[in-house]
Amino acid sequence: MASRTVLPSVTTKTVPRPAPNGMGNGLFATADINPGDTALHIEAPFVAILDTPRLEDTCAGCFGKRQMETGNELKACTGCRVVKYCDRTCQSKDWKFAHSLECPIFKNIKPMVLPNNARALLRIVLRSARNKYDPEEFKVFDGLETHINEISESQGQLDRITLTARAVKNYSGIDIEEGTVSTYAAKLDLNSFNLTTSMYDRIGLYLHPYAGLINHSCDYNATVGFDGAELYVKAMRPIKQDEQVFISYIDTTTPYDIRRNELKERYFFDCLCTKCQKGTDTFEDRFLSEPEDMTPLETAEREALELMQTATGSSTEHVEAIEKLEAAMHKLHETAAWPLTRQPYASLRDKLIISLLSAGNFTRAFIHAAIRYIKIDPVVYDKAHPIRHIHAWSLVRLTVFISQEGFQPDPQDPVQIKDFQLNFHYLIWYILAELASTQLESCTVPSFKKLVGNQFVQVHNEFKTNGLDPSKSRGVLAAEWQKLERLVTKALEKE
């Protein structure tokens, strides 16, 4: 049973305790937690802020949750015209939480809009000055790690924090020590999460001091997800009572050296996790064969990374980005030793899928999403990992799209889907059935599970209306899947 803590809005099967190996405090399970179970649920954030580009298209009250259901066009706050809401319900929720305090400040400094971390810091300063925080919650915030000594050794980092703190103090008009605001800024830097949609797209910054107590492992047993403003930490693997709950702070699909540098630079620690103890002897570092001379692999990696960087620049057109990403993937493929799962190959494909979608090339996006589903995700992610489920959902959506009557594939596509005579309806049913049957142990959030459940029922009922039940046609499903696997093999040969 999850229990409420002294902190309002926190329900959890964990307790904070000192952790070993110089980790400071961490969260430990108070009971056995099964995969997919919620280890921690936080209803309301300490602070949550949209990234500046998202202020235009995302409701600052529900962070997209109600927006998805109502489909309302967003209306700007008539005071500042900086934030937008679905309707009065979302607006008044945010007004009471903090917007009433910041709205006149936003209005005064227009047309400038403060960057996300400054807007988050401003909220903390304003809410704490008006005693809007629960004292227990603030006590946990006060106790959070800052690494201020390490930050002080880096002039660049120190300057950034000091300047943000000075600006926020001035805008707030609150009589508060600048040093205190700097400390808040350092806590925010170290302990905040990427606020994401239920589909794991980043939309902003989130902080809650209780969630800030979770330590990192590259071999993590839990994941963090958001459903609107609600945070969920779910077990990805079985967690025994008294075991520490770990999440990943970084992309742990990257090789050993990259992971360790990132953790050291951003979080100031050397990871001693079970994966790091294996050094470079894990799939993240392995090549298909170990050549005596590493130079060609290093050259291919450097060139691929350069191409990836220019492809994702803000001024790059979709078509140009696609060419660059494909060229980068080709360089890795040409080495004949680079596994599809070794970074940056997998990330290049993720970016390529997004660029192909933006350019309206749905058939090629479908092929890459199928490659990812069949060849990459089962190696890179645990079964319950939310990203694996989100990728499966994207494949379903793409298959639905290209199976529409009248859809015309691009005749220039290097692999022609029509040559494989896929029965898209059976494929959609198959992927959805797999998703629906693993919902319980998946780490996805409730809105996502609802979406999948509803879609599966709809697709299954369509089959039933036609007197068919795919669950009883295993042979047909297997044959369709083999066709898709042949398509994937063909596409990979051409990469």
Ligand X SMILES: C[S@@+](CC[C@H](N)C(=O)[O-])C[C@H]1O[C@@H](n2cnc3c(N)ncnc32)[C@H](O)[C@@H]1O
Residue 59 CB, nearest approach to ligand X (Å): 28
> Could you check whether the bond before residue 111 is cis, i.e. omega within 30 degrees of 0?
yes
Residue 25 lies near ligand X (rule: CB under 6 A): yes
147 versus 278: smaller Cβ distance to ligand X: 147
Q: Would you give the end-to-end CA distance of the chain in angstroms? A: 50
The piece of 32-40, 56-64, 140-148, 301-309 that touches ligand X (CB under 6 A) is 140-148
Residue 146 lies near ligand X (rule: CB under 6 A): no
Helix or strand holding residue 271 (H, E): none
- Is residue 90 classed exposed, middle or buried when 0-12, 13-18 and 19+ CB atoms within 10 A define those classes? buried
Residue from the set 91, 172, 198, 215 that interacts with ligand X by CB under 6 A: 215
The secondary structure of 360-424 as a DSSP string is: T-HHHHHHHHHHIIIIIHHHHS-TT-HHHHHHHHHHHHHHHHHTSTT----TT-SS-GGGG---H
For residues 19 and 217, the answer to whether their CB atoms sit within 8 Å is: no
Residue 219 CB, nearest approach to ligand X (Å): 10
CA distances from residue 199 to 24, 166, 446 in whole angstroms, order as listed: 32, 36, 11
The piece of 23-31, 98-106, 121-129, 452-460 that touches ligand X (CB under 6 A) is 23-31
224 versus 487: smaller Cβ distance to ligand X: 224
Residue from the set 39, 186, 190, 395 that interacts with ligand X by CB under 6 A: 190
**Mask for 248-287, x = binds ligand X (CB under 6 A):** -------------------xxx-x----------------
Residue 22 CB, nearest approach to ligand X (Å): 6
The piece of 107-115, 139-147, 327-335, 365-373 that touches ligand X (CB under 6 A) is 139-147
Residue from the set 49, 165, 181, 213 that interacts with ligand X by CB under 6 A: 213
d(CA 79, CA 95): 11
Cβ-proximal residue to ligand X, closest one: 24
Nearest Cα neighbor of 325 from 293, 349, 346 is 349
Residue 220 CB, nearest approach to ligand X (Å): 10
The piece of 46-54, 175-183, 207-215, 437-445 that touches ligand X (CB under 6 A) is 207-215
Helix (H, G, I), strand (E, B) or coil at 78: coil
Quick one: angle between helices 362-371 and 474-493, nearest 10? 100
Quick one: angle between helices 178-191 and 155-172, nearest 10? 120
Chain positions 303 to 342 lying near ligand X, rule: CB under 6 A, are none
Contacts of 149 (CB under 8 A, 6+ apart): none
Residue 116 CB, nearest approach to ligand X (Å): 18
23 versus 337: smaller Cβ distance to ligand X: 23
- Is residue 232 classed exposed, middle or buried when 0-12, 13-18 and 19+ CB atoms within 10 A define those classes? buried
Helix (H, G, I), strand (E, B) or coil at 455: helix
Residue from the set 5, 14, 191, 198 that interacts with ligand X by CB under 6 A: 191
Please tell me the number of Cα atoms within 13 Å of 410 on its side-chain side: 14
CA distances from residue 263 to 190, 215, 250, 272 in whole angstroms, order as listed: 11, 12, 8, 11
Residue 209 CB, nearest approach to ligand X (Å): 9
Residue 24 lies near ligand X (rule: CB under 6 A): yes
> Could you check whether the bond before residue 344 is cis, i.e. omega within 30 degrees of 0?
yes
The Cβ of residue 240 has, within 10 Å, a number of other Cβ atoms equal to: 10
Residue 281 CB, nearest approach to ligand X (Å): 19
d(CA 347, CA 399): 22
- Residues touching ligand X, count (CB under 6 A): 20
97 versus 226: smaller Cβ distance to ligand X: 226
216 versus 331: smaller Cβ distance to ligand X: 216
Residue 217 lies near ligand X (rule: CB under 6 A): yes
Residue 26 CB, nearest approach to ligand X (Å): 6
The piece of 213-221, 235-243, 382-390, 448-456 that touches ligand X (CB under 6 A) is 213-221
149 versus 404: smaller Cβ distance to ligand X: 149
The piece of 47-55, 144-152, 348-356, 418-426 that touches ligand X (CB under 6 A) is 144-152
22 versus 360: smaller Cβ distance to ligand X: 22
Residue 378 lies near ligand X (rule: CB under 6 A): no
The tokens of 380 are what?
């890179």
The tokens of 172 are what?
């707030």
**Mask for 3-22, x = binds ligand X (CB under 6 A):** ------------------xx
Residue 172 lies near ligand X (rule: CB under 6 A): no
56 versus 257: smaller Cβ distance to ligand X: 257
d(CA 96, CA 86): 16
d(CA 459, CA 331): 40
Contact set with ligand X (CB under 6 A): 21-26, 144-145, 147, 190-191, 212-213, 215-217, 267-269, 271
